[in-house]
Amino acid sequence: MDAGQPGAQQAARLDAADPLAARRELFVLDDPDRPGDAVYLDGNSLGALPRAVPDRVADVIAREWGRLRIRSWTESGWWEAPERIGDRIAPLVGAAPGQIVVGDSTSVNVFKALVGAVRMADEDPGGTGRDEILVDAATFPTDGYLAHSAARLTGRTVRALPPGDLADAVSERTAAVLLNHVDYRTGELHDLPGTTAAAHAAGAYLVADLCHSAGALPVGLDEHGVDFAVGCTYKYLNGGPGAPAYVYLRAAHQGRFDSPLPGWHSHRDPFGMTPDFAPAADARRGRVGTPDLLSMLALEAALTVWDGVAIADVRAKSLALSDFFLRRVEHYVPDGRVTSLTPREHARRGSQVALACPDAEAVMAGLIARGVVGDFRRPGVLRFGFTPLYTSFADVERAARTLAEVLADHGGAGSAG
């Protein structure tokens, strides 16, 4: 890329003024085969590797597992890891300590939270008459599958609606509402506070999926009164492939939460080994069995990149990055060649930009071949994720310019100015 181009000059000015710029050095970003030649805009699918992780994992394997072995459950803090790491995630989603436990997959946690919410509704006055679960029709497919499974288990039906219609649709028939905070396909930010308030006004409970918002924008779980929330840790939280997910159990609900997957780790007295289940009195009710310690401790090391970071600064940079990308795409790409599916309004935008492009799969392959890594969703959607801790404005400028070049190769011409 010609550093004399106006877009490059704009990017350089923005990077020089970026208060988060130094965080980039905490990540492994270069392609070893092509140093300095990788632009990674797929952190909305898999976050980059924090530099602190490899040494920590090596220590866990060689010392904690290799030498201390079973003693690490107590001497290395393995037993408390799900709650300890949950408390590290808590400020990133606006939660006080003691409400998040880490473990299992997002899918398992969605199921636990949704069934638990419906069971709580059953215990409320008139709760057995609440015969429906509301879900947003644009939800990630697995969330929909799990909602139907939870409905079968609890004797409910599922009603799927556009996310913007959920607040108006909640009624005395609704037991629980399942809402994705940010749409995985379009990057649209949905109204979590408003939908939560509407659910509560109707006597229902709200379960939020934070996979595409945690670590990218303020969530405010405590502030907005969200009942339950789940999320993965391998996207904006950079925990690594298959990193454990988490579940948020609002403090006021912990004593009533009835998990459909009770296990010895969620027992009040785990080592009592009693045949009858007696749940813990706190957020440990969200646990099940023995956690995946290697991945969990890798996540704990990854979360150190957040030390001293204000989520408001993350949000400000996220919006600035996506604004800059949209402007540069408009500058380089001919009108009509791609169309943004992501809302322009900041209040409705997550931390990705999705572009409708008929030949998205081939275009993304061309981008990756030129060192710009995003991803695509069928049919015809290019996705570009902006991870404020390591994405630079120079990355964004290069991505937009390269997109125009690839699109020109597939038909059409872009501007070079």
Indicate which residues carry an active-site annotation: 140, 209, 234-235, 383
Cα distances from 375 to residues 39, 45, 130, 325, 363, in angstroms, run 12, 8, 40, 16, 10
- Tell me how long the chain is: 417
Nearest-CA neighbor of 197 among 166, 218, 173, 172? 166
Nearest by Cα to 209 from 151, 141, 310, 119? 141
Cis peptide before 379 (omega within 30 of 0): yes
CB 240 within 8 A of CB 260: no
> Could you identify the residue written with the tokens 């009770």?
262
What residues pair up with 39 in beta bridges, in sequence order?
A: 372
In one letter, which amino acid is 78?
W
Strand partners, 244: none
Contacts by residues 198-201 (CB-CB < 8 Å, ≥ 24 positions apart): 198/166, 198/167, 198/168, 198/170, 199/167, 199/170, 199/174, 199/227, 200/225, 201/170
